[in-house]
Amino acid sequence: MLKLYQFERTWGNPNLSHFCCKTETYLRMADIEYEVKSSLPMRAPKGKLPYIEDNNEVLGDSRFIELHLKKKYKDLDQGLSENELALSLVIQRLLEEHLFWATMYSRWQYTDANWQVNKQAIFGVLPPIIRDIAAVYFRCKIKQQIYGHGTGRHTAEEVFTLGKQDINALSMLLGDNKYFLGEHPTAVDASAFGILINTIGCPIESPLKEHGLSKVNLVNYIDRIKYDFYQDLYTV
């Protein structure tokens, strides 16, 4: 059976990693059988989670995993028009390559309170001294990534100004739709759920989260997908 390697569940959500949550949501939306294996980025083929193992094939990066799942199991985007496919890609890139970084800034850099919550969630399982060393090492590394991306060069106000623009655009595009491209879940919804629940639906406080919470359609969208595809999280 396909194995999905990801962080431990936490915060009552599918995953604190946007991309792990995205991948698991695709698997569930497409009704593909899989088993979860807890892992850490240093064990992953590209040094980042998630990765999968499927019949001795090991694949890293949620975008290549998605291509694999579409080809081998089920393509959630089947039947979409060329325009819809283009829109789907554009929305995913905004979520994964832009809004994502504002949420990383919120977790790793914005306030000490957020950092403590994030640290506990990721490193809390490790023994005390190793936990602190790993936390310092990874915080430094991720802050460099945020800086490298460009987000880390802005003031907090600027980071959240840009992030709020993303939220506004996503809320406008979703409108009253059940899913981004209509009545049925497609790949963009797996991505949107993974990134939005980790923006609005997690215990990391910021003006970005507050702004997201003011968009009722986005809040309902996340709640609905969580309820429809992660019933097991409600019964634990």
Task: Pull the structure tokens for residue 29.
Answer: 């939306």
Nearer to ligand GSH, 37 or 63 (CB): 63
Any contact of residue 19 with ligand GSH (CB under 6 A)? yes
Question: Which pairing describes strands 51-54 and 2-6: parallel, antiparallel, or unpaired?
Answer: antiparallel
Residues in region 117-156 near ligand GSH by CB under 6 A: 141
Nearer to ligand GSH, 18 or 226 (CB): 18
* Distance in Å, CB of 183 to ligand GSH, minimum: 27
* Distance in Å, CB of 181 to ligand GSH, minimum: 20
Residues in region 39-58 near ligand GSH by CB under 6 A: 41, 47-49
Any contact of residue 164 with ligand GSH (CB under 6 A)? no
Nearer to ligand GSH, 19 or 105 (CB): 19
* Distance in Å, CB of 150 to ligand GSH, minimum: 16
Any contact of residue 18 with ligand GSH (CB under 6 A)? yes
Selected binder of ligand GSH within 24, 28, 39, 61 (CB under 6 A): 61
Residues in region 63-92 near ligand GSH by CB under 6 A: 63
Q: 14: Cβ–Cβ under 8 A, 6 or more apart, which residues?
A: 20, 21, 24, 25, 194, 197, 226, 230, 233
Nearer to ligand GSH, 122 or 159 (CB): 122
DSSP string covering 23-63 = HHHHHHHTT--EEEEE--GGGSTTSSS-EEEETTEEEESHH
Nearer to ligand GSH, 63 or 178 (CB): 63
Nearest 5°: phi and psi at 57?
A: -95, 130
Q: 110: Cβ–Cβ under 8 A, 6 or more apart, which residues?
A: 156, 206
Total of residues contacting ligand GSH (CB under 6 A): 11
* Distance in Å, CB of 17 to ligand GSH, minimum: 4
Q: 141: Cβ–Cβ under 8 A, 6 or more apart, which residues?
A: none
The dihedral over CA atoms of 122, 125, 127, 130, expressed in degrees to the nearest 10, equals -20
* Distance in Å, CB of 148 to ligand GSH, minimum: 11
Nearest 5°: phi and psi at 49?
A: -100, 150
The dihedral over CA atoms of 209, 210, 213, 218, expressed in degrees to the nearest 10, equals -50
| Length of the chain (residues) | 236
What does the alpha-carbon distance between residue 46 and residue 44 come to, in Å, rounded to a whole number?
5
Selected binder of ligand GSH within 5, 9, 13, 17 (CB under 6 A): 17
Stretch that binds ligand GSH, among 61-69, 84-92, 175-183, 220-228 (CB under 6 A): 61-69
- Binding positions for ligand GSH, rule: CB under 6 A: 17-19, 41, 47-49, 61-63, 141
